[in-house]
Structure 1
Amino acid sequence: MAGNVSTPGATVVSRVLSVLYAFDDRHRRLTATEVARRTGLPVPTAHRLLRELVAGEAITRGADGRYAIGRRLWDVGMLAPEQTELQHVASPFLSDIHAATRATVHLGVRDGMEVLYLDRLSGRASVPVVSRAGSRLPLHPTGVGKVLLAHAPEELCERYLAGPLRRPTIHTITHPDRLRRQLAAVRRDGYATTADEMTLGACSIAVPIARARAERGSGAVEHEVVAALGIVVPSLKRERTRLLAALQVAAQGIGRSLP
């Protein structure tokens, strides 16, 4: 929930930001009353700010009276340098994987304690996929999320494992020790898999995308994991090797092409 900004010292900017931050992946459309409740603003203030944001095309108002984030904000968000560069570089590789596998392909980065999906190319309609470009999901039940969590700083990883951990399906792994072993395997083997953990009927396999950086003074090259690339399919029993090879080749190409 957005932070409470009903205190007298709250600035106009902080109140506007609280209104925008009231929207998230589970609250995509809100009434003015719901915005007020999520921000702690008086309802009249929420109404006024929403009207101004609609006038500025940052928020849209539907025929049902509910509000949603406007396209202008999406356009502004896409100007973030790292996100734009990564998407631009990765786009042809995602297209190649999609054309070769006809599966759903994901490009994701870690945003705090969640995976943010920068891009998604849809595959077979029979495979249930809940992600979309711009959406956020938990790290532990998704293939790209497991990769990103495995390569996150140890302190953040432990804080994440301390929970609470959502359990979208009965197959979602939420036991901290089991997750630690799984994350260690991801770092060792270079890829992560899931089976029915985010949605029933969907399996995934994902690999890290690493950018090479030279250490100052020593001349040594270190690799920093900046994103994850994944595929969602009905089953990994027969095609795991082929899908993993395609992902690894693409991830290496993206990593080498990053500035």
Structure 2
Amino acid sequence: MEADDADRYRAPALDKGLDILELLASVEEGLTQAEIAKRLDRSPNEFYRMLDRLVRRGYVTKLEGDRFTLTLKLFGLSQLHAPTRRLASFATPLMRELAQRTKQANHLVVFDRGSAVVIAQHEAPDYWGISIRVGSHISLFDTGSGHVLLAFRSDEERQMMIAEHARSREEVNLGPEFHERLAHIRERGYEMMASAQTAGVHNLSAPILGPDGRCIAALTCPYIALVNAPASPDISQTITMVMKTAGELSLLAGSDVRTPA
């Protein structure tokens, strides 16, 4: 495109908004309005209305000390597009194999605009199993998938995820025990917990990590003891298989995570 054409189709307000988003994406601690203006070599007053709109639309949040930082809304939007479809596509054969080996159902969950959302699932191969419908929105706070999605994120990202969840659902008060649990999950590499929704079910969840080491999805097996199939894997064997499959999916996603033996 020639320079005259580039000038002819300029959209100054859009350019200003994109400049702010790109700048905030490059810093971790956030910036004040004055710092944004200085870095972009503009007057602070030029950014007041634009920052206000970005905050109201949920792309930017205002922290203590009048600092602005990105929310996870752009990340959530990206999850709805091709990357999520590719992840589900890559996961399908591995999830099928996992179901066959464990004799249990399993599902894949991502964080999207305040909720943990099921994007793929595979039924148990035999008569019995617990499955969750694709498209279901589940809690971040009392599910294995939600715990894993929160545990393998930075403290700042975790707080934004919790804040977005509170805006889209009920506001909750999380004590220090909850954050200690997340730290323990991160340390051991998985979550194993009794289901808060269904008696007799244990959620076995492991993270799928991206190239930057952050969790992009959770692979979860709602484990039930099968009394009619005594040769089926027990819960310890099953979580090992879930972690192995999650590790293989992490490698496909570009992570250098090592798959458990």
What TM-score results when the alignment is normalised by the length of structure 2? 0.55
Task: For 1:223, give the aligned amino acid.
Answer: G
Q: Which has the larger radius of gyration?
A: 2
1:105-184 alignment to 2 at 5 Å? 105-123=106-124, 128-129=130-131, 131-158=132-159, 160=162, 175-184=174-183
1:174-213 alignment to 2 at 5 Å? 175-212=174-211
1:1-259 alignment to 2 at 5 Å? 80-123=81-124, 128-129=130-131, 131-158=132-159, 160=162, 175-212=174-211, 222-234=212-224, 239-258=234-253
Is the 1:105–1:232 contact (alpha carbons within 8 Å) kept by the matching residues of 2? yes
Is the 1:192–1:205 contact (alpha carbons within 8 Å) kept by the matching residues of 2? yes
Q: Give the structure 1 partner of residue 229 of structure 2.
A: none
Match of 2:197, SS? coil
Is the 2:79–2:110 contact (alpha carbons within 8 Å) kept by the matching residues of 1? no
- Find the aligned partners of 1:79 and 1:163 in 2 and give their Cα distance: 21
**What whole-Å deviation, never above 9, does each CA across 1:197-247 have from its counterpart, x for those lacking one?**
1322321111101122xxxxxxxxx423211111111259x8232112211
Task: For 2:197, give the aligned amino acid.
Answer: M
**What whole-Å deviation, never above 9, does each CA across 1:3-59 have from its counterpart, x for those lacking one?**
xxxxxxxxxxxxxxxxxxxxxxxxxxxxxxxxxxxxxxxxxxxxxxxxxxxxxxxxx
Q: Give the structure 2 partner of residue 69 of structure 1.
A: none
- Find the aligned partners of 1:163 and 1:125 in 2 and give their Cα distance: 38
Structure 1 residue 128 displacement after superposition: 5.0
Alpha-carbon distance change, 235 to 193 in structure 1, aligned in 2, over 3 angstroms: farther
The gaps in structure 2 that reach 5 residues or longer are: 1-77, 227-232, 255-261
- Find the aligned partners of 2:213 and 2:158 in 1 and give their Cα distance: 19
- Find the aligned partners of 2:79 and 2:189 in 1 and give their Cα distance: 29
Q: Percent identity?
A: 22
The gaps in structure 1 that reach 5 residues or longer are: 1-76, 167-172, 213-221
Alpha-carbon distance change, 79 to 147 in structure 1, aligned in 2, over 3 angstroms: closer
Alpha-carbon distance change, 128 to 230 in structure 1, aligned in 2, over 3 angstroms: closer
Task: For 1:86, give the aligned amino acid.
Answer: L
Is the 2:79–2:112 contact (alpha carbons within 8 Å) kept by the matching residues of 1? no
Structure 1 residue 188 displacement after superposition: 0.5
Structure 1 residue 148 displacement after superposition: 0.1
Task: For 1:138, give the aligned amino acid.
Answer: S
Is the 1:127–1:202 contact (alpha carbons within 8 Å) kept by the matching residues of 2? no
Alpha-carbon distance change, 127 to 84 in structure 1, aligned in 2, over 3 angstroms: closer
**Aligned residue pair count:** 167
Alpha-carbon distance change, 139 to 178 in structure 1, aligned in 2, over 3 angstroms: same
Is the 1:141–1:194 contact (alpha carbons within 8 Å) kept by the matching residues of 2? no
Alpha-carbon distance change, 81 to 193 in structure 1, aligned in 2, over 3 angstroms: same
Task: For 2:224, give the aligned amino acid.
Answer: P
- Find the aligned partners of 2:79 and 2:180 in 1 and give their Cα distance: 36
Is the 2:208–2:216 contact (alpha carbons within 8 Å) kept by the matching residues of 1? yes
- Find the aligned partners of 2:251 and 2:81 in 1 and give their Cα distance: 21
Is the 1:89–1:258 contact (alpha carbons within 8 Å) kept by the matching residues of 2? no
What TM-score results when the alignment is normalised by the length of structure 1? 0.56
- Find the aligned partners of 2:181 and 2:154 in 1 and give their Cα distance: 16
The CA RMSD measured in Å over matched residues stands at 3.2
Is the 1:119–1:133 contact (alpha carbons within 8 Å) kept by the matching residues of 2? yes
- Find the aligned partners of 1:145 and 1:183 in 2 and give their Cα distance: 10
Higher helix share: 2
- Find the aligned partners of 2:251 and 2:102 in 1 and give their Cα distance: 23
